[in-house]
Amino acid sequence: MERLPNVHPGEILQEEFLIPLGITAYRLAKDVGIPQTRVSEILKGNRRITADTALRLSCYFGNSPKFWLGLQDDYDLEEEAVTKSEELNSIRRFDKSAA
């Protein structure tokens, strides 16, 4: 079965918020009070969405900070699962009947 690509939260920010609303990275950065380089690095997928950024984005867009952190957590978990799949598959499940 073909695996779908892991989508970085920056791509969601770009495609679902900035483009439809006609907001530039520069404007977003100025409006939420963070450096434009932070926004650009998030959009490129080179930087994580931190709790600080999540709080700012949630105030700006009117959604939950947990939405943004959830996107980041989902992305991070998927990346780790792929990177460490062999190691994770070698871990045997705890058997409470053997304890």
The alpha-carbon radius of gyration of the chain (Å, integer) is 17
The CATH number for 60's domain is 1.10.260.40
Q: Taking the CB of residue 62, how many other CB atoms lie within 10 A of it?
A: 7
pLDDT string in tens for the chain (99-residue length):
788 889 999 999 999 999 999 999 999 999 999 999 999 999 999 999 999 999 999 999 999 999 999 999 999 999 999 999 999 999 999 998 876
Structural domain contains residue 65 = yes
Q: What is the predicted pLDDT for the residue at 17?
A: 98
Q: Into how many domains does the chain fold?
A: 1
Structural domain contains residue 64 = yes
User: C-alpha distances in angstroms, 77 versus 35, 80, 81, 86, 95?
Assistant: 27, 5, 6, 15, 25
Structural domain contains residue 1 = no
Q: What is the pTM of this model?
A: 0.87
Structural domain contains residue 98 = no
Structural domain contains residue 63 = yes
Structural domain contains residue 33 = yes
Q: What is the predicted pLDDT for the residue at 3?
A: 80
Domain of 82 in residue numbering reads as 9-90
**CA 17 to mean position of chain CA atoms:** 14
